[in-house]
Amino acid sequence: MSQELKFIACDLGAESGRTVLGLLKDDRLRLVDISRFPNGGVKVGESLYWDVLRLFDEMKNGIRLATHQHGADISGVGIDTWGVDFALLGPNDVLLENPHCYRDPRIDGMMEEVFTIVPKSRIYEETGIQFMPLNTLYQIYAVKKMNPWLLETAKSLLMMPDLFNFWFTGTKVCEFTEATTTQFYNPRSGTWARGLLDLLEIPSHFLMEIVPPGTVLGRIRTSIASDVGAKDMTLIAPATHDTGSAVAAVPAKGKGHAYISSGTWSLMGVESSEPIINEKALSLNFTNEGGVCGTYRFLRNIMGLWLVQECRRTWAQKGTEYSYSELAELAANAEPFKSVIDPDDVSFLHPGDMPARIREFCKKTNQPVPDHVGEVIRCALDSLALKYRWVLEGLESLMGQRIEPIHIVGGGTQNKLLCQLAANVTNRSVIAGPVEATAIGNILIQALALGHIHSLDEGREIVRRSFDVVTYEPRHDERVEAAYQRFKTLLPQ
């Protein structure tokens, strides 16, 4: 491709959002940061919401800046966001209520209540999705219990990226990678699990047609196009679940590797040509989320750097600001494996005083209680690395083979301590990078949809050619094994 092609990726994460311009020429991709903006739940009373109107306006502003700075000849625009959250639209496509954040307390106890109606094994057999209280299934069950009129009034249910796609183009669909995060999509039939919803007396008339990643959704509405300065701009659905886009950009060669998409969440897994749904996968609580080019992401969701983010926010509220690099340095100087936690313990799910929660977990499990800032962060990072090993062992057991290397992509690659810990604890080579994997994967799928590249392998070759990675080799640490054995005693039995 001798002509330079321009793509815009609007990438919304749970902590922040960004608009990125991708310049594709001569089989190399270059990224230009256009705009960045904060994200996060907005608390009103006891409820936690997303500020979707501001996010929509931030994306429009990013596209406007991109066209003004780099020209209006944009080949495509793609939006990706986190999973599980949704909006309900009523008559005339009115937003019935502001979309809730998946950490909203309304989800508390809903998963367990659903299990009294539909057995856990039945849900997994139909969906192959990891059980987490934040899944759309339990959120929508909470709506049924607390505000049933919303479901009765709703004409459309749109996942978060689908809502923004609709506002930009007028097209209402549900992109495949997002649909799979709901826990009411059946990967065997390739359709919504309406029978499961029927058992819970949840209507399904408002579910949209499911379309694959790489679907061209159409041109941006005329009113928006004139506002942003690009009258012929086309919007394409990439893998709209951000992890789906991030995994598309993993710079791996061939098969046999694992990946960790590292950010607010750590999503660790392998690519599979079909869903893996069996009793062992259920017992280990692995998930089958949609991928690109006919793949599934067989993985485990891990709480991730949310632990660090929430610690940092808590300390800032109390008057002390730390940068992420400062926190990593303090953690590097703290004693390794002094105390460990299960990062996925439900006590860490909601916003709040994370340092206090980490200390409380250590106290109730009869471990030394982390004192200073470095010890708290070290406890979180050590524990994430230990969880990576536990997940890796589960993957290898299910796949029947040794898995190496581990590719880490996303913002978490900037935490060098965590990357080295991952190598040490798993005893595997870790290849870290690229940082902006989600935006890169978003852009690659747009280019694939428009015929500018022709396969996922070709796209990954472009990633390898365009972006640097760092390899971390495992270093022996005699404390690891004892810490891992202690860690496993903390996990639910």
Average pLDDT over residues 69-94: 97
Band (1; pLDDT cuts 50, 70, 90): low
What is the phi/psi pair of residue 195, to 5°? -60, -35
Q: pLDDT category, 155, cuts 50, 70, 90?
A: very high
For residue 232, pLDDT beyond 90: no
**pLDDT 10s digits, 271-330:** 999 999 999 999 999 999 999 999 999 999 999 999 999 999 999 999 999 999 999 999
CB 240 within 8 A of CB 210: no
Q: What is the mean pLDDT of residues 430-444?
A: 98
pLDDT value at residue 39: 97
pLDDT score recorded for residue 493: 78
Please give the mean pLDDT across all residues of the chain: 97
In this predicted structure, what is the pLDDT of residue 230?
83
Q: For 320-360, how does the pLDDT look when each residue is reduced to its tens digit (9 = 90+)?
A: 999 999 999 999 999 999 999 999 999 999 999 999 999 99
Average pLDDT over residues 148-168: 98
Q: If pLDDT is split at 50, 70 and 90, which confidence band does 254 have?
A: confident
The predicted pLDDT at position 20 comes to 98
User: Mean pLDDT throughout 249-263?
Assistant: 95
Catalytic annotation on 242? yes
Q: Which of 11, 104, 162, 242 is catalytic?
A: 242
What average pLDDT does range 127-136 have in this prediction? 98
Give the whole-angstrom CA distance, residue 233 versus residue 315.
43
Query: Of 200, 196, 287, which Cα lies nearest the Cα of 241?
Result: 287
pLDDT tens digits for range 444-484: 999 999 999 999 999 999 999 999 999 999 999 999 999 99
CATH of 5-237, one of 3.20.20.70, 3.30.530.20, 3.40.630.30, 3.30.420.40: 3.30.420.40
Mean pLDDT confidence for 86-93: 98
Residue 42: beta bridge partners? 49
| Local confidence band at 65 (pLDDT 50, 70, 90 cut-offs) | very high
State the fold for domain 250-433+454-493. Answer: Nucleotidyltransferase; domain 5 (3.30.420)
**Quick one: average pLDDT of 40-58?**
97
Q: Per-residue pLDDT averaged across 128-148, rounded?
A: 98
All structural domains of the chain with their residue ranges: 5-237, 250-433+454-493
The string of pLDDT tens digits covering residues 175-219 is 999 999 999 999 999 999 999 999 999 999 999 999 999 999 999
pLDDT of residue 231: 78
Residue with tokens 């810990």: 421
Those residues with Cβ within 8 angstroms of residue 88's Cβ, 6 or more apart along the chain or in another chain = 95, 96, 97, 143, 150, 151, 153, 154, 156, 157, 206
Q: Which residue has the tokens 């808590």?
A: 314
Residue 88: which pLDDT band, with cuts at 50, 70 and 90?
very high
pLDDT tier, 433 (very low <50, low <70, confident <90, very high otherwise): very high
